[in-house]
Structure 1
Amino acid sequence: MGLSVIGAGFGRTGTESLKRALEILELGPCYHMYEVLPHAERVAVWRAAASGETPNWDDVFSEYNATVDWPGAYFWRELSAHFPKAKIILSVRDADSWYESMDNTILPILRNSDDPKSIGVKLIADGVFGGNIADRDHMVSVYKKNIADIQAEFGEDRLLTYELGSGWDPLCDFLGCPIPDQPYPRGNATDEFQRKVDAITDAPSG
C-alpha cells in the first residue's frame, strides 16, 4: 500500500485520536503502537529495529496507508525518505502538559520494566531520551528539540504542525479532505490508557 501520511509526533500528543481521525478520513488503516503489541512478529521487527537493524519498510507497512505514534515516529527521518510523497503530521501539545501526560501513563511503565530489550525501554527510554527518564527538564528539552528538528526539515507543503485540540479544520485543509459530519475523535485519555495497558506485555503506547 505504501504510506501517504507519516505521524512524527511523540506519544501522548493525541496520536490515538489522530489515528482515528485519519481512518475516518479514509486515509487508513493507520499504524500505531496498539497495532504492534498484539502481534509477536511485529514486536520482533521493532525490537530488532531498536537494536539498529533496518526493517524492510515496505513490508512493515504493507497493510497500512498511515502511521502515527511510536515506534514509527522515532524513524520519521527514515520513513520520510523512503516514502517521499507522504505528508508529515507533527502532533504537538504544550510541553508541560505533554510531560504530565507522559508521567501519568508511559513513564511508570518504562521505569518499572524488567525487560531492557523491550520496545519501550530500548526505543523510547534509551533511544529517544538517552536513558534519562528521571529528569523532567531533560525530557522536555528532547521533546522540544524533536519538534524543532522536524519543523526545520520540511516545508509547509509537506508538513503540518498539528496542535492537540485543533479539530478537523487544519487537518482536512492540509490533506485536501472534506470535513466529516462528526466530531473530531477523542481517545486514550489517562484513565483509558490505564485500562489498555493491562494487556501490554512489551511496550507502552501513546
Structure 2
Amino acid sequence: MLQVIGAGMPRTGTASMKAALEQLGFGPCHHMYEVIQHPEQARRWSGVLTDDPVDWEYLFEGYRSAVDWPGSYFWRELVTAYPDAKVILTRRDPQRWYASCKNTIFEFCAATARGDAPPLSPEHGEFQMKVLDRLFRTSFGAGMADFPAEEPSIAGFERNNAAAIATVPADRLLIYEPGDGWEPLCEFLGVPVPADTPYPHLNEGAEMRRMLQEARSKGTIPSPFGSAS
C-alpha cells in the first residue's frame, strides 16, 4: 500500500527522491525506471487509461511509494485511493525543467515513436502507444513523435503544480525543490535525518542521456539505483 505519492512531473529530481525515500524506509519506490526495466510492469500499466475501475493495488503491488510517471500523472486518483498517504510535489525552475526534458526523455521518446529506435520490448511498445503518448498529449500538447514545444510544455508543467497545491490538503503536501536536502523531507515524513549521509543526487541530465543511448544500442537500460527493485 502506498504511503508516499509523488505529484511532480518527470525530470524534477524524482530519481533522487526515489533513492531518498528508499533510504528512509519507504521503499520499494515506483518510478518510470521500474517500467523501463521490467516488461511485466509495462504490460500492467498498458490498461491504466481504459480499465474501469483501475486496480491501483495491482499496479503498485509490492511498492510503498511512487514518484515520476506513470504514477505521478495520476496523483489525483491516488490521493483519493490512498487517503492516509503523504504527497510530495517535486518541482524546479520551468525553463531548466524543459531543457532537461528536451535533451533526455523528449529526444528518446520522439526517436522511438518515429521508429528510429525500436521499443525495448513488445510490452514497452504497447505501453508507449496506449499510455505514454496520451500522457504526452494531455500534459504537453503534443504526442511523443511531435517533440513537445517549450511554451505548451511549461504551461502543462505549471498547471500540474498549481493543481496539486490547490487540491491536496496542506498537511498532506510537501513542496520539494532541488537543494532542499533531508530536513524538510524527514520532518514531513516523521523520520530521523540520516546521520552523516548526504541527500542522494542521481540521474542528472548527462547520465540520463548516457543511459538512453545505451538503451538504444543494447535494447536495455541500466539502473541508476543499483539492482532493480
* One-letter amino acid of the structure 2 residue matched with residue 120 of structure 1: L
**Which residue of the partner structure matches residue 199 of structure 1?**
215
Do structure 1's residue 130 and structure 2's residue 158 form an aligned pair? no
TM-score by length of 1: 0.90
**Deviations 1:122-170, CA, capped at 9 Å, x for gaps:** 33x2232232643211111110010000000012210001112210111
**Deviations 1:43-67, CA, capped at 9 Å, x for gaps:** 0122222x43253111111201000
* One-letter amino acid of the structure 2 residue matched with residue 52 of structure 1: T
193 and 85 in structure 1: CA distance in 2 versus 1, 3 angstrom threshold: same
In structure 1, C-alpha distance between the alignment counterparts of 2:108 and 2:33, rounded to whole Å: 15
Relative contact order higher in (CA < 8 Å, ≥ 6 apart): 1
Task: Give yes or no for contact 1:118–1:202 (8 Å, CA) kept in 2.
Answer: no
- Give the alignment's Cα RMSD to 1 decimal: 2.1
TM-score by length of 2: 0.81
Q: Residue 53 of structure 1 is aligned with which of 45, 51, 58?
A: 51
**Which residue of the partner structure matches residue 26 of structure 2?**
27
Segments of 5+ residues of structure 1 without an aligned counterpart are: none
Segments of 5+ residues of structure 2 without an aligned counterpart are: 114-124, 224-229
Shift of 1:118: 5.9
Quick check: which has more Rg, 1 or 2? 2
In structure 2, C-alpha distance between the alignment counterparts of 1:113 and 1:99, rounded to whole Å: 19
* One-letter amino acid of the structure 1 residue matched with residue 134 of structure 2: K
Aligned length: 201
**Deviations 1:4-48, CA, capped at 9 Å, x for gaps:** 000010000000000000011111110101111222221012222
**Which residue of the partner structure matches residue 64 of structure 1?**
63
Task: Give yes or no for contact 2:6–2:90 (8 Å, CA) kept in 1.
Answer: yes
Task: Give yes or no for contact 1:10–1:91 (8 Å, CA) kept in 2.
Answer: yes
In structure 1, C-alpha distance between the alignment counterparts of 2:139 and 2:148, rounded to whole Å: 13
127 and 47 in structure 1: CA distance in 2 versus 1, 3 angstrom threshold: farther
> Does 9-18 or 32-41 show the bigger shift?
32-41
**Which residue of the partner structure matches residue 79 of structure 2?**
80
In structure 2, C-alpha distance between the alignment counterparts of 1:130 and 1:81, rounded to whole Å: 26
